[in-house]
Chain A
């Protein structure tokens, strides 16, 4: 039996009462993390990622009262965000913004010699070399600190699959960022 958590209880209560304050509490708690997740998976600029964020939370609103706690609210929320991110990538909305001032890739610039903005761009380019499932697993692990079990539940894959996705993602990134880390 699934262990109910506070956010799941809050969402169930929102479904029963329709109190917008309860929705607002969930929105305030999760909006930043979910937006970050969407941006890292899709590599969309913030405006595009916010469209997906909006879709996800409108679904949260529409599904109130129909939510059956087979999974925790947070798991369900991230699952929707990840699936919509996959759709966005497939719809070829994927874009990677390249800064013209980025140092020549052949130059031997270690990451710690670049300013944060440039490092971010180099990292995003590297992330762009992964497929969306690898990016999803890595994002949930590195940026949201989800356990393997949580990642497996969100992505609806096995634990072995999560391990494989993370292993291949990290191996590839090591080779892309070789000499820079």
Chain B
């Protein structure tokens, strides 16, 4: 593991990532270690070996043209979208719409709740006739029927 430590230091030195204090420590070790010295000496040729792949790749002309055109189209698209956004979806508009939706929702919810609980009365039955069938009212037909049922039990 000692060798690996100094070989890593040698690598950092080759990559110009080693501070002066560590350089001195490394030089002291290399002066007595042929294995690490060999490792350090191989780093330069290894890096040089990559020279055939060093040349920067050129981009296809068609791709160059495509990207240029897309950049122009992207601008046009944003301009139109920006206009729509500014008109309808500016932050202040979104908050207004959200508030309005909340109020309308509350009203609709309340109305829906009331409608749900309101008993459905046919229009041809009067209020007095309806009361006769409403079990809440004493003396209603429904109460009489219920009482007769209880007696039979």
Binding site for B on A (CB under 8 A): 18-20, 23-24, 27, 31-33, 35-36, 39-40, 46-47, 49-50, 53-54, 57-58, 61-62, 111, 116-117, 119-120, 123-124, 141-143, 147-148, 163, 166-167, 170, 173-174, 177, 180-181
Contact = CB atoms under 8 A, between A and B. Distances in A.
A27 B67 contact: yes
B46 A174 contact: yes
Nearest to A127: B53
A110 to B, nearest CB: 10
B53 A40 contact: yes
Nearest to B44: A181
A123 B52 contact: yes
B5 to A, nearest CB: 11
A61 B59 contact: no
B59 A123 contact: no
Contact of B46 (A40, A53, A143, A173): A173
B68 A18 contact: no
Given A61-B71, A123-B50, A124-B53, A50 B63 contact: yes
Contacts of A174: 42, 46
Contacts of B66: 54
A164 to B, nearest CB: 8
B46 A50 contact: no
Contacts of B46: 170, 173-174, 177, 181
B39 to A, nearest CB: 8
B45 A181 contact: yes
Contacts, number: 96
Given A27-B71, A49-B57, 6 more contacts: A27-B64, A32-B58, A35-B59, A46-B60, A57-B67, A61-B70
Contact of A58 (B52, B70, B78): B70
A49 B40 CA distance: 34
Instruction: Tell me the interface secondary structure of chain A in the complex.
Output: helix
Interface string B103-139: 0000000000000000000000000000000000000
Interface residues of B, number: 34
A18 B53 contact: no
Contact of B59 (A50, A163, A177): A50
B21 interface: no
A99 to B, nearest CB: 13
Q: Which 8 residue pairs across A and B have the least CB separation, nearest first? A: A20-B71, A32-B56, A120-B52, A23-B71, A18-B75, A119-B52, A116-B52, A35-B57
A13 to B, nearest CB: 13
Contact of A20 (B17, B57, B63, B72): B72
A20 to B, nearest CB: 4
Contact of A170 (B43, B54, B57): B43
Contact of B7 (A143, A167, A181): A167
Contacts of A46: 57, 60
